Amino acid sequence: MDRLKQYLNENPSDDIHSSEIVNILKDLDDKSFYKSLSSIPKELIAKVALELPDRYFEDVIENFSDKDIALSLTELESDDQTDFIQELEDRDRRMAKNVFNFLHEDDQADILQLKQYSEYDAGAYMQLEVYTAKLQDSVKGIIKEFVKLRKKNELENVNYLFGVQGSGDANAIVI
C-alpha cells in the first residue's frame, strides 16, 4: 500500500500509468491489495480493472461507485469500453446497466455497435476511433490537426498509418 501511495505522490497525475499501478497491486498480499484499491485514481479504475488478472476485476469494481466507474470508462477506447461492460455484465448485470446509463450517448452507441459482433469476429476487436485525412491533405496540415486534437485531449497516440485507395471520396489516409 505504501508503495502505491508513494508512486501516486511522486508522479504528476498525467504521468501515472495504469500498468505501473497493476504491477504494484500484483505484488501486494491480499490485505494490502484490498486496502490499496481505494487509492486508485478514479480516471484509471477501468484501465486497472482490465489489466489485472480476471480474478481481481470484481474486487476493483466493488470499491467504486457506478458513476466513478462510468467516468473512468470515458478514458478508454471504444473496444476497451465494450470489453469492460461485457465483463461487468458477466458479473453484475444491474451494475453494468447503471454504469452504461451514466455514459454519454456517443459512448453508449459505440458500445452497442461493437457488442453486435461475436467474440470470434474481427469487428469485436476493432476500435471506432479513427482519424481520416484526404490524400490531397498535406503532411504539415495533418500534423497541425494532430496537435489540435492532442491539445483537446482527443488524440493520445498514433500507432499505425494506413494509406487506402478506393473510388471517388474513398481515397484517404486512415490513422
Global pTM?
A: 0.74
The three cell numbers of residue 78 are 471504444
Domain assignments of the chain as residue spans, ordered by start = 2-125, 132-174
- For the stretch 100-119, pLDDT in tens is 999 999 999 999 998 888 77
Q: What are the contacts of 9-17 at 24+ separation with CB within 8 A?
A: 13/41, 16/41, 16/44
**φ, ψ for residue 59 (rounded to 5)?**
-60, -40
Cβ atoms of 42 and 102 closer than 8 Å: no
Name the DSSP class of 13.
G
Q: Which three cell numbers stand for residue 80?
A: 476497451
Nearest-Å Rg of the Cα atoms of the chain is 19
Euclidean distance between CA atoms 132 and 41, whole angstroms: 33
**Mean pLDDT, the chain, integer:** 85
In order of 7, 141, 143, 155, 172, the CA distances from 73 in angstroms are 22, 31, 28, 16, 30
Is the pLDDT assigned to residue 26 strictly greater than 70? yes
pLDDT higher than 90, residue 58: yes
Q: Does domain 2-125 have CATH number 3.40.630.30?
A: no
Q: What are phi and psi of 133, to 5 degrees?
A: -135, 150
* Angle ∠(16,21,22) on CA atoms, nearest 5: 140
Tell me, what's the pLDDT at 136?
A: 80
**Which sign, positive or negative, has the C-alpha torsion 76, 82, 87, 89?**
positive
